Amino acid sequence: MSFPTPDSVRAIRHFNRFYTRQIGVLQEHLYRSQFSLTEVRVLYELAYQNNVTAGELCRELGLDRGYLSRMLQNFEAQGFISSITSPSDHRRIFLSLSSKGRKVFAPLDRRSSAEISAMLARHSAPKQKALLGAMRQIESILAATPQSAAYSLRPHRPGDLGWIVHRHGELYAQEYRYDERFEAMVAEVAAKFIQNFNPEREHCWIGEKDGEIVGSVFLVQESKSVAKLRLLFVEPSARGLGIGRSLVAECISFARQAGYKRMMLWTQSELSAARHLYQAAGFKLIKKEPHQSWGRKDLVAETWELKL
């Protein structure tokens, strides 16, 4: 356990006050309806959750059981909710909005979405993306249970290579102090891949999680018998999920199917996580060479090989 500093506590309290004011502005319009904010929260859960029980609503919304019970009785009396008994456990009663309830809730839902859209529209697309990413990260860190580790791999499409160049340049500057010449090198590799792309012998995989790109790798033709793994990348927020291992495995599988005899890769000795992946996949270190590149004078390049 790491104990927070007083400055950290003050920063959280400051953010909490700021965020509460922002949300308060978005919720003011709800007071103009016949429902309280808490009632709208309950209606929202009933609209967007399947097979939810009163007990689950209590836990998820942090409501007193008696208070929620009276609210649900009122909703039922007005015909806003319907209930069914679980076929597998007759003690569990599943709640949902009735047709009348959905009709009453719909304008509230549209109004809330419009307010949020208006707030986002005041900011540029990059700032909107940064905001949503920060919110997802806060939710992931503070959630009582870990977020889903599910991810998927897909082929590249227009716009992906620009992301790859940008994130390599940005992250390697932050983590390893590589200057803009490293980003230029990544851009050169990506441009060469597109200009000479042979889909039967080369491929690019993009890793996605929750609709966001979180990783990438290239397999390119070095010669008729040798393939080269290039630009393996995994976002810090997605590390530990097995994405890097899957990307490397896809490269190896594709190379074998394409008929290559060997795979090669070039990396740096300080990239310990990547080196561990390569070693686990069966690559062997065959060459080390000190060099000065990208604003650093203390780098050691490594060449790894895998016989297919």
Residue 23: pLDDT above 70? Answer: no
Residues 112 and 156 in one domain: no
**Nearest alpha carbon to residue 43 among 102, 115, 94, 93:** 102
How far CA 58 is from CA of 30, 35, 184, in Å, comes to 21, 18, 54
Token reading at 261: 């005899």
CATH number at residue 87: 1.10.10.10
pTM here? 0.57
How far apart are the C-alpha atoms of 245 and 248, rounded to whole Å?
5
Identify the pLDDT of residue 89.
Answer: 74
Residues 143-202: tens digit of each pLDDT: 655 555 678 899 999 999 999 999 999 999 999 999 999 999 999 999 999 999 999 999
Residues 209-242: tens digit of each pLDDT: 888 899 999 999 999 999 999 999 999 888 888 8
Residues 68-91: tens digit of each pLDDT: 889 899 999 999 988 888 777 778
Look at the chain and report how many structural domains it folds into.
Answer: 2
- pLDDT class for 279, splitting at 50, 70, 90? very high
Of 46-50, 94-98, 288-292, where does mean pLDDT reach its minimum?
A: 46-50
Neighbours of 281 (CB within 10 A): 16
- pLDDT class for 141, splitting at 50, 70, 90? confident
Instruction: Tell me the average pLDDT of the chain.
Output: 86
- Give the mean pLDDT of 131-135: 82
Residue 203: pLDDT above 70? Answer: yes
Q: In what order do the strands lie in the sheet with 262-268?
A: 152-155, 203-209, 212-221, 226-234, 262-268, 296-307, 284-293
CATH number at residue 245: 3.40.630.30
The residue segments making up the domain with residue 157 are 152-307
Identify the pLDDT of residue 113.
Answer: 80
Residues 201 and 276 in one domain: yes
Residue 53 lies in a domain: yes
Helix, strand, or coil (residue 287):
strand
The structure tokens 């998820």 sit at: 60
How far CA 115 is from CA of 19, 23, 32, 35, 217, in Å, comes to 16, 10, 14, 18, 39
